[in-house]
Chain A
Amino acid sequence: SQTIHQWPATLVQPVGSPLSLECTVEGTSNPNLYWYRQAAGRGLQLLFYSVGIGQISSEVPQNLSASRPQDRQFILSSKKLLLSDSGFYLCAWSNVDGSPLHFGNGTRLTVT
């Protein structure tokens, strides 16, 4: 069966520090991969999605970047965090045929 792992679960970082959140999927090949952000009291905002290795689409101009170095690995990064980067970050995957989207457990990021 397919599983998705996302870490860390919580993270507190000072303004200006770098960020690296990692997500891996097991039990499937060539999945679509997504990074979402959920701010308090707001809906989920799609940040990045990837349909293959090295293929990244950005939905919102921002201080973040994403990379997909391997088929089932998706990384969210920032060189210098801003206070506004605080939020709940969720990684998700789906098969390329539009089957259900499955989420990881999320990372709670607090930028201080």
Chain B
Amino acid sequence: KQEVTQIPAALSVPEGENLVLNCSFTDSAIYNLQWFRQDPGKGLTSLLLIQSSQREQTSGRLNASLDKSSGRSTLYIAASQPGDSATYLCAVRTGTASKLTFGTGTRLQVTL
């Protein structure tokens, strides 16, 4: 059974800092991995999707990497801003192409 862990559970950084969020998974036979952002009381917004054959994906100030063999992914946020404050979740798709397993998220606060 796939298990996804995100460390740290919460993180507070001053504005302008670069930061890394971590995601690890127990079964390396994944189809793809997706990073999401969730604002309080809202749905999830897709940030980046990395296919199993890829090493990284970039979108603006965000860069996600994938090391499938070690069961790890990182989300790098450059020059953090207060608007980046949210909970970040990673999810892996394994087995059939239909199911994702989610981590419990990292709650990020970027302070002025």
A residues contacting B by CB (< 8 A) are: 6, 32, 42-44, 46, 49, 51, 57, 59, 88, 90, 92, 96-106, 108
Q: Which residues from 18 to 58 on chain B have a C-beta closer than 8 Å to any C-beta of chain A?
A: 31-32, 34, 36, 41-46, 49
Interface residues on B, range: 20 to 34
Contact of A101 among B41, B100, B103, B105 (CB under 8 A): B100
B residues contacting A by CB (< 8 A) are: 4, 31-32, 34, 36, 41-46, 49, 89, 91, 93, 97-100, 102-105
B contact face: mostly helix, strand, loop, or mixed = strand
Please tell me if the beta carbons of A99 and B49 are within 8 angstroms of each other in the complex: yes
Please tell me if the beta carbons of A51 and B98 are within 8 angstroms of each other in the complex: yes
Residue in chain B with minimal CB distance to A106:
B43
Please tell me if the beta carbons of B102 and A103 are within 8 angstroms of each other in the complex: no
